[in-house]
Structure 1
Amino acid sequence: MSDREPPRRRVPGPGPAKPPRPRGAVRRQPGPGARPVRRSGGARPPVSRPLRLGSPRPRLRLVSLALTLVLLAFVVRLLQVQAVDASSYTARAEQNRYVVHTLAAERGEITDRNGVALAVSEDAYDITADPTMFGRAQLKISDGPEKAAALLAPILGQDQAALVRKLRPANKNSRYTRLAARQTPQVWKQIKDLKTALTTKSETDHTTVNVLAGVFADPSSQRVYPNGDLAAGILGWVNADGQGGGGIEQELDKQLSGKDGKVRYAQAGGRQVPTAGSTETPAVPGSDVELTIDRDIQWAAQDAISEQVRKSKADRGYVIVQDTRTGQILAMANSPGFDPNDLSKADGDAMGNAAVQDAYEPGSTAKVMSMAAVLERNVATPLTHVVVPNRLHRGDRLFQDVQVGPMDSTFTVLGPNGERVHAKSPLPGPFNVANTLAAVVALAAAGLDPQTAADGIAAVPGVPGRLERVDAGQPYLAVVDYAHKTDAVESVLKALRKVTKGRLHVVLGCGGDRDRTKRAPMGAAVARLADTAVLTSDNPRSEDPLAILATMLQGAASVPAHERGEVLLFEDRASAVAAAVGRAQAGDTVLVAGKGHEQGQDIAGVVRPFDDRQVLREAIQKTQG
């Protein structure tokens, strides 16, 4: 045990003041748990108070309220999207996600009797676009259509402004437009490579916009004629809409064209989404057609007639080769012809088949045979001069007192024994008087009583649609005629002018997808020869009716004002007929020309019922009260 004792704590008592601590003394630090020593005497030093914070509860309540309102807005919007407007948003999403494209049916082949191809179809593409994918909302730029058109115009060979109009249509909701039809696979490959390049660049360069994302291609086919202009008049051609525009292609269009299919698939950014699935209705290909034509015989016939037309300096010629045992046509050649592979270089007058389209009156055919017999028997030569008296002999008959009327003609036939036969031609025009007389003479020579023959001919109703009269009790003449070429229109107008005491009102149109060169001359002819020329639609087919009328109007405007009648324009044919009828007075003549016996009107590929005779009759009845 150490001699040194531990220090003891002293508790100050009430005694005298504590003596001052000696200088140098060490101040003892209080140990753990010791109470602080209170200094006695003097002023108590100031004590710093701790900073007291405000209550956080108001702020927490405000933040909680704000979060509650935000969450409530999210909940309301979620209910609107998923419950209230779920169907409309679903439909909108489907519309923006899924696209439908047409699968063109492969057109059937046309072959000759030996199976040699005369018309075939090759792979092609219709270049299409979704206009909604070129707007600011999709591309984030305002000139998307202009930039896309600038890239596509040189590839498609089309006008840039025309492409812009297709990519920015008046209908803002339109999701389909065809930029170019039946383009070669090489053209589509160029566009596809350009789309890929833009897509790749846009992934690394955010300033690049793929303005071709909305451009697509629908598989189609292109009509090709391997033999060029061989048998073009028979085959015809296929127009810009893929429909037959003439010949066999038009006549058997439904059989050859088949039935288009369609495919529906999901797309994003202009590309198909492989995992989203698709639905497809396959196209049904058209049927093949085999002709009785023999290609080699057709070539020989076409070569021969072309050479003869050239030597003779003729306007045209045609030849038909027929197997007399079976009646089958082995060749039907026309000259001049056209190449259906390139219609831009074709002459409109040569785009038909004159061998089957040229119309001949029976009397005209008889005249050819009569003159051939005269020349063959050496009764006359091409240089023989004939003096025509005021009475015309036909065989042992003589006819006189000819009265040419507006719809028929009457005359008297004098027999070899002086008998008089009163005859009537049921068709208008002086030339039909000669035709009727020839028929009376032929029947009398066959043993029929001349007057009975004449009466029978007078009872013939006439050819439907050829100067066919429409009578609804009106005090003027109303007729329908098939004249649809310039010379035919001029002939019928001149014939009607001779029998019309008053004014001549004519309704006339030109067909679409046909000879464009005849439109202006026809417009000029009707404006010059009619008192009222009502220009209207015929069968516009795939063409714009107003564009056809504009060309006819140019021809009408070329006629000097002092030679030109009143010219009216009506796109609707029925309205044009009503306008002509509304101007007719007693003694006038109303002619509705161009369609004749036809009972339909082809507008944009749809044939709707339309009969000029019925429409004319109804228009007259309305004016009659």
Structure 2
Amino acid sequence: MTFILSIFAGRLIQMQGLDSKVYEAAAADQRLHTEEIPAKRGSITDANGHALAVTVEARELAIDPSKVPAADRAKWTTVLAKQLGRTEQEIAAKLARTNTRYQLLARDVDPLVAGQLLKARVPALTAKQTYRRLYPAGDLAGSLIGFVGDEGKGLGGMEQARNTVLAGRDGEQRVETGRDGQRIPMTSSRRTAPVDGRDVRLTIDRDIQWAAQKSINEQVREAGADSGTVIVMDVQTAQIVAMANGPELDLNNWRKAPATAYVNKAAADVFEPGSTNKVITAAAALEAGTVDADTVFEVPDNIKCADRVLRDAHAHKPERMTFRQAVAQSSNVATVMAARQVGSERLFRMLQAFGFGTRPGGGVPSAEAGLLPDYKNWSGSQSCTVAYGQGVSVTALQMASVYQTIANGGVKVEPQIVAGTTDPSGRFVPAPAGKRTRVVSATTAKEITTMLESAVGEEGTGQLAAIPGYRVAGKTGTADRYDAELGRYDGYTASFAGFSPADKPRLVVLSVVQNPKKGHFGGELAAPVFKDVMTFAIKSKKIPPTGSVAPPVRTRAGQ
């Protein structure tokens, strides 16, 4: 017995004396646990502070199935399924996994619901404090705002683009717990406080965004179109007042939507613009001095270009047209004739100056650059078709920027979508103004404006865009639509771009309807959307009519 006791004594000396620190560290590792303290995500608001994305407190519920008595499993399955909005089959499957110590039951649980379940004393139920993301406006600017995944990271739109600002930094807490996972009282803990995310204020106006979405959705349905887009932009600042897509993504049900709905088509979808692009050809011709608004062309209804014969939208006998009349009536042939006097290189440089072929700045998520082939690689017919918007591809955002430049006296301003953010103290910090670049002279911009005003007049293709009491300048567009899935041209893109008041521009509105089945001209499909949205916007912004009338201009040859 003395020998045996000496062995025990030696082992005790080894454990408590020689190896005590090793065992003490191992025990501490078993007791110490690090708990994450989530940061509260910042809000996304419209220009007036109305919430578009907010974070509220929630709970994450988990259970240890091994501690739920088999006899009570059916009872607790019913209770949990009812309170959490899950099926009994789903909950029963989790509780049946008795070989595990942890099963996640639900995230984003309302604190009141979690409190009721804890009071009901569901065995081994634990609740962890978290946050959940809510979108009070549903599908309003859905694909622009984006959404947050289960891990708390932005997965699209502004949520992803500004994730670093919005997310903040999680904190942590190290505590000592017993075998049952409960904290041991009176033990030490170490806590690093979380840093909450900052708010992001957009330039979007909630009311105008709603009107734009309503109008484009109605037109998409009536025309049997695939999709549509509307952009409203402030002329002087290039701030985006509305960026609407139809149909739009419902942020409160984003998991049920197809992946194609996640794309902000207004900034990402690329298409051939058609006749809305003729303002750039006009700008190149006026800047080069080869053509002015009163230059007269002898215009047939077709023109040969390399191996192709290009035609106007409607057949007509050869007629004398002023360049202003050609723009108002959207003559492809006259536009090609003017472009030939400009030359491919100068036209290409003008397209570049207006922003084609480069991604717009200003922080718009998913903004694409479009496609502008080098003029040296243009085919024989492409050197003509580019003049009227075929053979070059843009986004709706890029085309809206073109008309902002004309309306702003020839000065292009980098489009802006973020009005500012809050700093760590909660003070609002405005975003820097967009970069300003002069593209064409003020004289050229004014001359083009008179042409665009004629295009909305009695002899123009954009008559349905006219707004009683207001002077409107704009241009229709009807282009063959390239279908990437089919690998060929199929259907049309109908569009209208313009601004008002024409003599003192405040707002630009661009509307695009993709692949309509009932009609296809921009003047009949996109112009009415422009009128609806612009009318609502100028009333919402309290923009009064200027009271002036359009000056008399020569529209027809011989006048």
Q: TM-score, normalised by structure 1?
A: 0.44
Which one has a bigger Cα radius of gyration?
1
Calculate the TM-score normalised by the size of structure 2. Answer: 0.48
Greater RCO (CA < 8 Å, at least 6 residues apart): 2
